[in-house]
């Protein structure tokens, strides 16, 4: 392994201080990494961020994922501490599938009108996460880093480093604000990949809501609001509890009860939310 560097590079995030990072370029058989170090790498444990490339989030500042925001939050934390190492996996777009597949993924999603990422990956014959962290271990060995504070929401990264003999002394959460644009992806990552975030998933919200509704009379069931988005949006944005008629073909559901407050982040994505509907006696 013969990296290019170091290159001295000043970095500032928003109104943070300007810090000098040492940048290195590593090339492996099937992957490339850019590594940035600020402060003393021998002072361990050292904050570590493994950043998978994302053409949409990092370059075009897209809102459908949180990649750009996570990267900036991690760099900002390192700048504040004047201590840390970031590894940028150049070829890891779409969780290790590359830029071409990343474009195909979003093209398929938009043309087919599909939102379930797990089904889309299955249809395209792709693993949900194909990333290989072997280069990360080799880079840590190169810099004699044996103890880290890992900046991640992904528990798999903790397992990989621990199994390789790296002492992960702490997990530092990197959690941007959830929005109507990134809600679908972030909640699916939490449910299917086990990401450790504080966002309330749809299942968690429904469970909590069920508990609150146990005292209600009558039978209740869930319907998806996708086919009734206009009605559901009007109900969600009206702060007063109310009952609305729904033009449902299924006679077992007659009304939409909006006597609850959904999580703030679901307001703009009501087609992903299950709402309570009253069944006929």
The pLDDT value given to residue 271: 37
Q: How many residues does this entry show for the chain?
A: 281
Q: Specify if 121 maps to a domain.
A: no
Mean pLDDT of the chain: 79
119 confidence band (pLDDT: 50, 70, 90): confident
Residues labelled catalytic:
129, 131
d(CA 52, CA 22): 19
pLDDT in tens, 211-256: 655 555 444 444 333 334 444 444 444 444 344 444 444 443 333 4
- Token pair 């779409």 is at which residue? 94
137 and 212 housed in the same domain: no
Residues of the chain above pLDDT 70, percent: 69
Q: Computed from CA positions of residues 65, 69, 72, 73, in that sequence, does the dihedral angle turn out positive or negative?
A: negative
Q: Specify if 243 maps to a domain.
A: yes
Q: Would the pLDDT of 15 be above 80?
A: yes
14 and 69 housed in the same domain: yes
- 8 Å CB contact between 180 and 269: yes
Residues of the chain above pLDDT 90, percent: 52
**Boundary-marking domain end, from 175, 193, 211:** 193
Strand order in the sheet with 46-52: 4-11, 19-27, 32-38, 84-89, 46-52, 147-151, 167-172
Beta strands in 115-163 (DSSP E): 147-151
pLDDT in tens, 182-205: 877 887 788 777 888 887 665 665
Number of domains in the chain: 2
Q: Computed from CA positions of residues 115, 74, 98, 166, in that sequence, does the dihedral angle turn out positive or negative?
A: negative
pLDDT in tens, 85-105: 999 999 999 999 999 999 988
**Boundary-marking domain end, from 169, 193, 217:** 193
The pLDDT value given to residue 203: 62
The pLDDT value given to residue 214: 57
- Window from 74-83, 110-119, 168-177 with minimum mean pLDDT: 110-119
23 and 52 housed in the same domain: yes
58 and 88 housed in the same domain: yes
pLDDT in tens, 70-82: 999 999 999 999 9
Q: What is the DSSP letter of 280?
A: P
Q: Specify if 169 maps to a domain.
A: yes
């Amino acid at each position: 392994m013969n990296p290019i560097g170091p290159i001295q590079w000043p970095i500032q995030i928003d109104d943070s201080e300007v810090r000098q990072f040492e940048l290195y370029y590593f090339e492996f058989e099937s992957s490339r990494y850019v590594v940035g170090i600020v402060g003393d790498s021998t002072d361990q444990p050292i904050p570590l961020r493994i950043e998978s490339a994302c053409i949409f989030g990092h370059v075009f500042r897209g809102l459908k994922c949180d990649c750009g925001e996570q990267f900036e939050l991690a760099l900002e934390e390192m700048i504040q501490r004047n201590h840390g190492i970031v590894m940028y996996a150049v070829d890891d777009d779409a969780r290790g599938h590359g830029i071409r597949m990343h474009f195909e993924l979003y093209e398929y999603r938009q043309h087919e009108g599909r939102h379930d990422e797990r089904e889309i990956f299955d249809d395209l014959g792709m693993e949900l996460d194909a990333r290989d962290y072997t280069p990360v271990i080799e880079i840590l060995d190169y810099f004699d880093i044996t103890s880290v504070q890992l900046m991640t929401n992904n528990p798999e990264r903790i397992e990989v480093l621990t199994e390789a003999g790296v002492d992960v002394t702490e997990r530092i959460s990197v959690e941007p604000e959830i929005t109507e644009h990134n809600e679908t992806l972030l909640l699916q990552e939490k449910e299917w990949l086990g990401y450790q975030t504080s966002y309330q998933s749809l299942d968690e919200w429904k469970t909590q809501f069920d508990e609150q509704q146990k005292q209600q009379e009558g039978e209740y069931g869930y319907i998806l609001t996708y086919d009734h988005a206009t009605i559901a949006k009007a109900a969600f944005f009206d702060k007063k509890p109310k009952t609305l008629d729904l033009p449902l073909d299924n006679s077992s559901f007659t009304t939409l009860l909006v006597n609850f407050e959904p999580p703030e982040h679901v307001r703009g994505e009501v087609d992903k939310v299950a709402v309570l509907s009253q069944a006929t006696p």
